Chains A and B, each alone.
Chain A
């Protein structure tokens, strides 16, 4: 810490905890310093509620409608889509264009 100097052991432990927390978790709209957000990534991890660093959807790397399909093929989205490598290689075969054909994506029961 910059403004407080620990002078006993308990204070040193608090200080150590503080430096562990430093930039470990930051609030999205904290100002300043702003958290570093890679361009295009979402800040929210709830499907259907993806927002960009500005709180909107314009800065996402793909339209929100496409995220299920694109996460499935090109990106990492571990739980919500079927495992196309091992168990469901054909899951998206009926969905050529996600914005139009997304209804063809079926449920998979493991």
Chain B
């Protein structure tokens, strides 16, 4: 009996949630779960009332009855909101679900990023691997991955991913295609090994597109290898930073190759990944060029990673301008979705995919969890961005994962270890942001990326509103979108 007395004797306040409106309806995004609920008038009224003051059970129930709800309905309303933690009572705390501080030692791998070479034929001025903020220490290490290391990596992935029917290998560099010979060998070897186990293996690669040939394109298409092209836009923007060592821009070299790639590679989506830098912030013009002129299926944008002290970094004012253009493309994304069409702006698509699931991340990404990077020498790292960095090795392909180092990396990167994140409603999706970005900026992979917080919240809110609108006006689209993205 005491518990019931306590239940109604406490005072209610709003739970941890982010409210938003879409298609004229109120919604809430619940931070403890990553769940999205549409609110009816009554639920919205409760949150309005508790937005101003805390209320006792009797006060809240009375207020609802005054607003025309009958007694049973008012009680049900309160009970539902308490259940989902849209409101919380100071007298009764829901049991805290046990959350493992560190993943189990046998957490299965799902993907490997093979850095098949650390060499590159371009010299992009902002490169995180070679530029001023590099953390890689490749001196004295192999420049190209050997077939032995690559095959050992494939075996390692298949062994450590037991339980996963499908696994994935991403090829990365340096410039990946400088070691296409190895890539081809790995694909054939890995396919064979996976088939022998009755499993499937998928592939993708990132490239600067300068070395694409008909033969390579045919191979990529035949083997359904996803391609992401790092490029920054039309000639004037591409050639600003993405240059050869001589300083010559790379646009003229890649343009005909891209057109061939997009025309001839029909088995996987071809994606462009744009790095935004000082002077390269013309998001809409870049998008139009890559999507409409060149024909990329998807285009994603990210501001350049840097220490906060580089002349190519984007200033706060320019970043606001970037966001404004993001919003414009986001509005277009929504129009497409309402017509039942896919739009290629992946900054929205990625977030919508996560919102469909209702992800609630312990870590910002899979680095060190289901994903590891392998350097040309066979060193393991949390992801491709830490390749060849002595300070961040997590073992070696021959000796396996260094459990202590991995645990240190993961416990640092856990969202609950990031003080500033604890009061942020966007943490289920963001979880503090990229480990590598944090290290470059703050010297600690476990530091929250504070320089992006406002933008992340603004962007997450924008994507929530898109999500809400589609869920009201064209809910079938979300189902089809989920199926297309392979969200199970």
For chain B residues 56-107, which have a beta carbon within 8 Å of chain A?
71-72, 75-77, 80-81, 83-84, 86
Q: Are B35 and A10 in contact (CB-based, < 8 A)?
A: yes
Bits for B148-164, please: 1 = Cβ < 8 Å to A, else 0. Answer: 00000000000000000
Q: What residues on B are CB-neighbors of A5 within 8 Å?
A: 37-38, 40
Q: Considering the chains assembled together, what is the distance between the CA atoms of A27 and B43 in angstroms?
A: 23
For chain B residues 331-384, which have a beta carbon within 8 Å of chain A?
355-360
Given the known A-B contacts A1-B80, A28-B1, are A8 and B7 also in contact in the complex, defined by CB atoms under 8 Å?
A: no
Q: What residues on A are CB-neighbors of B3 within 8 Å?
A: 27
Q: Considering the chains assembled together, what is the distance between the CA atoms of A33 and B356 in angstroms?
A: 35
Q: Is A97 an interface residue (CB 8 A)?
A: no
Given the known A-B contacts A2-B76, A3-B76, A14-B33, are A9 and B4 also in contact in the complex, defined by CB atoms under 8 Å?
A: no
Q: Which A residues form the contact surface with B (CB < 8 A)?
A: 1-11, 13-14, 18, 21, 27-30, 32-33
Min CB–CB distance A56 → chain B (angstroms): 13
Min CB–CB distance A83 → chain B (angstroms): 34
Nearest-neighbor residue (CB-CB) of A4 within chain B: B37
Min CB–CB distance A14 → chain B (angstroms): 5
Instruction: Specify which of A3, A11, A27 lies most central, judged by the most chain B CB atoms within 10 Å of its CB.
Output: A3
> Can you list 17 A-B contacts with CB-CB less than 8 angstroms, sorted by A residue number?
A1-B84, A2-B40, A2-B77, A3-B40, A3-B77, A4-B39, A4-B81, A9-B358, A10-B35, A10-B359, A10-B360, A11-B33, A14-B84, A21-B83, A27-B4, A28-B4, A29-B4
Given the known A-B contacts A2-B76, A30-B4, A32-B72, are A9 and B40 also in contact in the complex, defined by CB atoms under 8 Å?
A: no
Q: Are B36 and A3 in contact (CB-based, < 8 A)?
A: no
Main secondary structure on B side of the interface with A: helix
Q: Is B468 an interface residue (CB 8 A)?
A: yes
Given the known A-B contacts A28-B1, A29-B1, A32-B72, are A7 and B77 also in contact in the complex, defined by CB atoms under 8 Å?
A: no
Q: Considering the chains assembled together, what is the distance between the CA atoms of A27 and B3 in angstroms?
A: 9
Q: Are B358 and A4 in contact (CB-based, < 8 A)?
A: no
* Inter-chain contact total with CB atoms closer than 8 Å: 86
Q: What residues on B are CB-neighbors of A18 within 8 Å?
A: 80, 83-84
Q: Are A4 and B40 in contact (CB-based, < 8 A)?
A: yes
Min CB–CB distance A2 → chain B (angstroms): 6
Q: Considering the chains assembled together, what is the distance between the CA atoms of A7 and B84 in angstroms?
A: 14
Q: What residues on B are CB-neighbors of A3 within 8 Å?
A: 39-40, 42-43, 76-77, 80-81
Q: Are B355 and A8 in contact (CB-based, < 8 A)?
A: yes
* Contact pick for A9, options B39, B42, B357, CB 8 Å: B357
Q: What residues on A are CB-neighbors of B360 within 8 Å?
A: 10
Q: Are B43 and A10 in contact (CB-based, < 8 A)?
A: no
For chain B residues 121-142, which have a beta carbon within 8 Å of chain A?
none
Q: Are B77 and A11 in contact (CB-based, < 8 A)?
A: no
Instruction: Specify which of A1, A7, A14, A28 lies most central, judged by the most chain B CB atoms within 10 Å of its CB.
Output: A7
Q: What residues on B are CB-neighbors of A27 within 8 Å?
A: 3-4, 7
Instruction: Specify which of B27, B35, B86 lies most central, judged by the most chain A CB atoms within 10 Å of its CB.
Output: B35
Q: Other than the known A4-B37, A4-B40, A7-B471, what 18 A-B pairs have Cβ atoms closer than 8 Å?
A: A2-B40, A2-B77, A4-B38, A4-B80, A5-B38, A7-B36, A7-B37, A7-B467, A8-B36, A9-B356, A11-B35, A14-B84, A18-B83, A28-B1, A28-B4, A32-B71, A32-B75, A33-B72
